[in-house]
Chain A
Amino acid sequence: MLEMFQTVWAIVPMSLQTLIVILLKIVAIVAPLMLCVAYLTFAERKIIGHMQVRMGPTRVGPRGWLQPIADALKLLMKEIVIPSGSSKGLFLIAPMLSLAPALAAWAAIPFQDGLVLADINAGLLYILALTSVGVYGVIIAGWASNSKYAFLGAMRSAAQIVSYEIAMGFALVGVLIAAGSLNLGDIVRAQEGSLVHWFWLPLFPLFIIYFIAGLAETNRAPFDVAEGESEIVAGFHVEYSGMAFAIFFLAEYANMILIAALAAIMFLGGWLSPFQGIPVLEGAFEWVPPIVWFLAKTSLFLFCFLWFRATFPRYRYDQIMRLGWKVFIPITIAWLMLVGLAVVLELPWWFD
């Protein structure tokens, strides 16, 4: 069997071989990601359920474990309604435009030392550029639907996303100054040492601002005015049904996981063990593969996403804009200058 495979493989031309290897790697990233998205929705319902003293879904499968599969099948069997007066082509392209960047950004994410699909120098810049493209899905969906709720939701959402992108960009620059590289792998390696070498400590305000801006970028509670049910029903995707809606849903959750993974990489040392540099514990936990730490840190942030949704009441729109422009931007600029000065003066022990 293996021999037969090898002979067939040898016939395949070189360029096609590389392409097949790349495609297989992409599948190895996307398939688990999709599964994560499915079970993140399940976790969301369970965790928020328990926080509100409910059970969450329990019916489908043992303890409700097959619920996301059932949801996906249900959405698949639902009619895709294309409203009259909408721009058909744009209406169907919009979900695609929001999903493609949310997935492609994963190309630059290192899961472990050396375990990255595209080890590009400008990794962080690439991710920032792709996430900024994600706003098109929202705008086009809102405009193409020809519905007032969708249009209002899209405009609110777009203005909110671009406002918080600035705060997020400044926070990222802080990480770059401290790490001295755009490559995400190098950023993690720059945090080597111990728990206190991770960037959350010297960049604490930027860390908090990055995560809050991440909440706002993904339109999650408490910044979910774009789809505030009580005001504009569902916002930009009110006219979407069936699989077209499912794609938006997928994109939102893939983005959430991306923000969480980036937070883990930039501020909590990515795949580095939290017990590094601690005499006994470091040896005791040496058997744990590094990727486990990375996934654990990502899950921690994802839990925060759900926890915040269950805890905080929704912000009002003017408060959201005020927070983004008048609070986050001044703080980030000031902190950037401080960190820059620390790097130039080579202050120990993060910046030497």
Chain B
Amino acid sequence: MTFELFIFYVFATVTVASAVVVISSRNPVYSALALVLTFFSCSGIWMLAEAEFLAIVLVLVYVGAVMVLFLFVVMMLDINIAVLSQGFMSYLPVGVGVALAVVAEMALLVGSKYFGADIIPPPERHVAEYNNTAELGNVLYTVHMYAFEIASVILLVAIIAAIVLTLRKRPLTRYQSPEKQVAVRREDRIRVINMKAETEE
């Protein structure tokens, strides 16, 4: 077994094990953290496939951003753990059914005569100077420009949806606006009036 293969099996084991923890842990915070570990080891596997850019972006986007949101939600929503862990047995048959279907599909695909190491050879190893990011960039913004622009529209929809769904105005909160503070002039605040001096009678 080569060293690379060894690393692959380490990552693969961690991925599967942490994925099991994600669905079996009773505490949602632990589940979320196990999911972080799953993403990490997935990124390791992608790296072994020499998808350098995608591997690091997986960490940047999923671990660094998406899971932070998940943690925010799980930590702050005050989820009742007891209620969440109920009904495990009643959902079990459905879950097992779906799992079996997926296994059957995979068996059909992997076991077919169109699949296997002898039909689809493993991709060639690249030299140290191989630049995955540049390869991607060269096609993404030219050949796949249309898909790329669609992506920005999807992101725009996401921005608008997020705002519409979560933004609540609370008229009672008070706050200062610095630009107004800076723009204040003396005349707005002070009125000098002429008063007659008071005299003792």
User: Are chains A and B touching directly in their complex (CB below 8 angstroms)?
Assistant: yes
Q: Which residues of A pack against B, CB within 8 Å?
A: 15, 87, 90, 120-122, 125-126, 128-130, 132-133, 135-136, 139-140, 143, 155, 158, 162, 165, 182, 318-319, 322
Q: Are A132 and B75 in contact, with the CB atoms below 8 A?
A: no
A316 and B72 alpha carbons, distance in the complex (Å):
22
A20 and B136 alpha carbons, distance in the complex (Å):
35
Answer yes or no: B131 CB below 8 A from chain A CBs.
yes
Q: Give the residues in chain A near B131, CB-CB below 8 Å.
A: 121
Q: Are A135 and B133 in contact, with the CB atoms below 8 A?
A: no
Q: Are B132 and A128 in contact, with the CB atoms below 8 A?
A: no
Interface residues in B92-144 by Cβ distance below 8 A to A read 129-133
Contact of A162 among B29, B65, B75, B178 (CB under 8 A): B65
A-B contact list, 26 entries, CB within 8 Å = A15-B3, A87-B27, A87-B29, A90-B33, A121-B129, A121-B130, A121-B133, A122-B52, A122-B56, A125-B56, A126-B56, A128-B60, A132-B59, A132-B60, A132-B63, A132-B64, A133-B63, A135-B64, A136-B71, A139-B68, A140-B33, A155-B72, A158-B68, A162-B65, A318-B175, A322-B178
Q: Give the residues in chain A near B133, CB-CB below 8 Å.
A: 121-122, 125, 182
Q: Which 9 A-B pairs have the closest CB atoms?
A: A132-B64, A129-B60, A129-B59, A125-B56, A129-B56, A121-B131, A143-B75, A122-B52, A122-B56
Query: Chain B residue with minimal CB distance to A316?
Result: B176
Answer yes or no: B161 CB below 8 A from chain A CBs.
no
B33, B68, B72 — which one has the most chain A CB atoms within 10 A of its CB?
A: B68
A217 and B177 alpha carbons, distance in the complex (Å):
24
Number of chain B interface residues as a range: 20 to 34
Q: Shortest CB–CB separation between residue B118 and chain A, in angstroms?
A: 29
Q: Are A158 and B72 in contact, with the CB atoms below 8 A?
A: yes
Query: Chain B residue with minimal CB distance to A130?
Result: B59
Q: Give the residues in chain A near B65, CB-CB below 8 Å.
A: 132, 162
Q: Are B59 and A133 in contact, with the CB atoms below 8 A?
A: yes
Q: Shortest CB–CB separation between residue B2 and chain A, in angstroms?
A: 10
Given contacts A120-B52, A143-B29, A182-B133, 13 further A-B contacts (CB under 8 A): A90-B30, A90-B33, A121-B130, A121-B132, A122-B53, A125-B53, A125-B56, A126-B56, A129-B59, A133-B64, A143-B71, A165-B64, A319-B178
Q: Shortest CB–CB separation between residue B171 and chain A, in angstroms?
A: 17
Q: Give the residues in chain A near B29, CB-CB below 8 Å.
A: 87, 90, 143
Q: Which residues of B pack against A, CB within 8 Å?
A: 3, 27, 29-30, 33, 36, 52-53, 56-57, 59-60, 63-65, 68, 71-72, 75-76, 129-133, 175, 178
Q: Are A139 and B71 in contact, with the CB atoms below 8 A?
A: yes
A129, A135, A139, A319 — which one has the most chain B CB atoms within 10 A of its CB?
A: A129
A132 and B76 alpha carbons, distance in the complex (Å):
21
Q: Give the residues in chain A near B71, CB-CB below 8 Å.
A: 136, 139, 143
Q: Are A136 and B36 in contact, with the CB atoms below 8 A?
A: yes
Query: Chain B residue with minimal CB distance to A135?
Result: B68
Query: Chain A residue with minimal CB distance to B53?
Result: A122
A42 and B33 alpha carbons, distance in the complex (Å):
36
Q: Shortest CB–CB separation between residue B102 and chain A, in angstroms?
A: 30
A107 and B64 alpha carbons, distance in the complex (Å):
19
Q: Are B59 and A121 in contact, with the CB atoms below 8 A?
A: no
Q: Shortest CB–CB separation between residue B37 and chain A, in angstroms?
A: 11
B27, B60, B76 — which one has the most chain A CB atoms within 10 A of its CB?
A: B60
Q: Give the residues in chain A near B64, CB-CB below 8 Å.
A: 129, 132-133, 135, 165
Contact of B68 among A15, A128, A162 (CB under 8 A): A162
Q: Give the residues in chain A near B33, CB-CB below 8 Å.
A: 90, 140
Q: Shortest CB–CB separation between residue A21 and chain B, in angstroms?
A: 15
Q: Give the residues in chain B near A139, CB-CB below 8 Å.
A: 68, 71-72, 75
Q: Shortest CB–CB separation between residue B101 and chain A, in angstroms?
A: 35
Q: Give the residues in chain B near A158, CB-CB below 8 Å.
A: 68, 72
